[in-house]
Amino acid sequence: MSILIPLYVYPWPGVWDPLYWAAGNNTNLHFTAILNPCSGPCLPASQIEPAYLAEIPKLTSYPNIRTLGYVATNYTNKPIEDVMGEIRTYADWPRTLGDERVGVDGIFFDETPAVYDWRWEEYLKVAGEEVRANKGLGEGVVVHNPGNLPYQTWNYLAHANITVIFEDTFANFITSKNFYALKSLETTYGLPKDRFSIMLHSIPDVPDELVVWMVQQMKQMVGWGFASSVGVKGEYWHSFSPVFERFVSLWAWG
């Protein structure tokens, strides 16, 4: 059971404590936290702010938390050389920042395409191969975030360990078209559910019974999930929302 958390909130003292609490009190859960200090790794790495250098070692001290570095591909419009440079910057963090505890275990590629094109596949293949081959990236985990369901036949699923196939509002999650497509992921794509993730935001103030139902459905659909009640565009993942603790406790229920 696993939670994929976009940890985009700035690490002021105490701000990451909800995650520490969640990891410490739910040791059966595995958390993968996406670090995004400069909309990427900070170039050069020496520009990373001291607050991150203080908090990342705390994060990685928990045995059930691993970290990934954030890299946006701009739907493969970012030059591949720039993407490779960001990957290698994350891989070099322990050396350049002088602390082995800041190392990450892979890369979260944001803004990956959902529509298929062979040129885009080659781009993502090359980027993923760099992650897996670079010894500075620990487990070499590759996550893609198209945020949408890919084509059934032609897609990029083979090039990622995890693909975020739905990043959207709670209201759109429960529409019949999306809901039933997500219910049949394993059948549609011939892959186990631990290859997929759902990230929901804009969860309204609803009865707890509906929150319980939502988490139950997500866990049946995918192996990885996250949810936020924040509904402000651009701020969905920049805080621990009021639903965070309840979501984690429900996800931990076997």
Q: CATH number, domain at 69?
A: 3.20.20.80
Per-residue pLDDT 10s for the chain (254 aa) are 699 999 999 999 999 999 999 999 999 999 999 999 999 999 988 899 999 999 999 999 999 999 999 999 999 999 999 999 999 999 999 999 999 999 999 999 999 999 999 999 999 999 999 999 999 999 999 999 999 999 999 999 999 999 999 999 999 999 999 999 999 999 999 999 999 999 999 999 999 999 999 999 999 999 999 999 999 999 999 999 999 999 999 999 86
Q: Is 30 helix (H, G, I), strand (E, B) or coil?
A: strand
**DSSP letter assigned to residue 76:** T
- Which range of residues forms the domain containing residue 133? 2-251
What local confidence, expressed as pLDDT, does residue 254 receive?
A: 60
Per-residue pLDDT of 192-225, as tens digits, reads 999 999 999 999 999 999 999 999 999 999 999 9
- Integer Rg of the chain from CA: 17
Domain count, the chain: 1
Residues facing residue 8 across a β-bridge:
none
What length is written for the chain? Answer: 254
Question: What DSSP element (H or E) covers 129?
Answer: helix 118-133
Nearest alpha-carbon partner for 226 in 143, 168, 142: 168
Residues facing residue 144 across a β-bridge:
109, 163
What local confidence, expressed as pLDDT, does residue 1 receive?
A: 65
- The residue written with tokens 């209201």 in the block is 171
Cα–Cα distance measured from residue 11 to residue 1, given in angstroms and rounded to the nearest whole number: 26
What local confidence, expressed as pLDDT, does residue 192 receive?
A: 97
**DSSP letter assigned to residue 151:** P
